[in-house]
């Protein structure tokens, strides 16, 4: 079975800049969700994460309900819901992942380019880290297609590079993996998101070590 839940739902996805956020109604709410997500994911202990993400999921859902015509709230509700699934674990998390996937597909219909291609980064990660049939909806071909689209849309996005790197690591394509993961480390920090940037780069460094062990 593919890597799933706790290793997967380190999902930070969109690298939203201040300029992008200023165009979104309720952008302060969005930035607050991002900061809370990073705090829970990178600074809380594993025994605290499930309850914290459950509460944050409820907050994200309420915010998205107020902005039903916008893609950004749906994307971040999906991200938070998927990370909550990761903290929850087990088969009970699969229904949360299906809900998160459906939120992203809904957001795609509103604005496929929203948040630097985060819809495709997120969908790609969901499809390769979720078990396939008959347990879940995982599909490596769909994962690769979405991740390719994400990197084409935003070649310097931290998450697009990270999840492409992680995907190719899972596929034992170590040189490809290392190229993407090294780029994550070399990219500048995401503005106004220091906890996320530090956490994502640390994850990339750990994955890069694994890839490099297989490169001769």
Contact present, 201 and 38 (Cβ < 8 Å): no
User: Which residue do the tokens 């490169």 mark?
Assistant: 215
Average pLDDT of the chain, as a whole number: 88
Please tell me the pTM assigned to this model: 0.88
pLDDT confidence band for 32 (50 / 70 / 90): very high
Q: Please provide the DSSP assignment of 184-197 as one string.
A: HHHSPPPTT-HHHH
**Contact by Cβ (8 Å): 64, 71:** no
Residue 187 contacts residue 155 (beta carbons within 8 Å): no
Torsion angle of alpha carbons 124, 128, 131, 132, nearest 10°? Answer: 80
User: SS3 for 132?
Assistant: strand
Chain segment 152-206, per-residue pLDDT in tens: 999 999 999 999 999 999 999 999 999 999 999 999 999 889 999 999 999 999 9
User: What is the rounded distance in angstroms from the CA atom of residue 154 to the CA atom of residue 150?
Assistant: 6
Any idea which residue has 């956490």 for tokens? 199
Query: Among 10-14, 89-93, 114-118, 156-160, whose mean pLDDT is lowest?
Result: 10-14
66-100 tens-digit pLDDT: 998 999 999 999 999 999 999 998 878 999 999 99
What does the domain layout of the chain look like in residue ranges?
18-212
CATH superfamily of 18-212: TRAP transporter T-component (1.25.40.920)
């Amino acid at each position: 079975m593919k890597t799933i839940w706790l290793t997967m739902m380190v999902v930070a996805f969109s690298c939203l800049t201040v300029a992008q956020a200023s165009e979104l109604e309720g952008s302060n709410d969005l930035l607050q969700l991002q900061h809370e997500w990073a705090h829970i994911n990178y600074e809380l202990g594993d025994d605290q994460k499930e309850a914290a993400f459950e509460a944050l999921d409820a907050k994200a859902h309420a915010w998205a309900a107020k902005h039903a015509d916008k893609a950004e709230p749906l994307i971040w509700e999906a991200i938070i819901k998927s990370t909550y699934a990761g903290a929850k674990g087990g088969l009970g998390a699969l229904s949360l992942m299906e809900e998160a996937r459906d939120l992203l597909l809904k957001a795609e219909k509103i604005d496929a380019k929203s948040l630097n291609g985060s819809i495709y980064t997120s969908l790609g990660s969901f499809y390769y880290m979720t078990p396939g049939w008959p347990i879940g909806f995982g599909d490596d071909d769909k994962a690769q297609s979405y991740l390719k689209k994400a990197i084409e849309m935003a070649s310097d996005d931290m998450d697009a590079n990270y999840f492409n790197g992680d995907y190719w690591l899972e596929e034992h394509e170590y040189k490809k993996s290392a190229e993407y993961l090294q780029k994550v480390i070399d990219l500048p920090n995401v503005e106004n998101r220091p906890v996320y940037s530090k956490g994502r780069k640390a994850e990339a460094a750990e994955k890069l070590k694994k890839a490099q062990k297989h490169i001769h």
